[in-house]
Amino acid sequence: MKNFTPTHSLLISGILCSTFGHNFTVTSKITNHINEYKCKKCGKEVTDGFSGNIELLTFKTKKVNACLASFFQKKMHRVSTH
Ligand SMILES: [Zn+2]
């Protein structure tokens, strides 16, 4: 007999993250190639880096992404209205 309660699975999820890796979902789309992600289980935030690596989402990277997003949107807008 399995006896799983929500409290139990929450406790286990923290261990699962360090064992099997995080369960990231896209929280915001910066460009076609760069997204921000958040782990559904532990709440860790990361972003795609310029080199294609996953980087930890810090205040600095958030600022860079915000600049990049507004630049990208302007560019997309100009292309679509042309
Ligand atoms: Zn996680």
Ranges of each domain in the chain: 6-81
Q: Which residues surround ligand 1, an ion (CB under 5 A)?
A: 17, 22, 39, 41-42, 44
What is the CA 25 to chain-centroid distance, rounded?
A: 6
| pLDDT tens digits along 49-60 | 878 889 999 999
Cα separation, 9 vs 16, whole angstroms:
10
Ligand 1 geometric centre to CA of 65 (Å): 21
Ligand 1 geometric centre to CA of 69 (Å): 25
Ligand 1 geometric centre to CA of 78 (Å): 38
| pLDDT tens digits along 18-31 | 888 999 999 999 99
**pLDDT value at residue 69:** 94
**pLDDT value at residue 76:** 83
| 3 CB-contact burial (10 Å; exposed 0-12 / middle 13-18 / buried 19+) | exposed
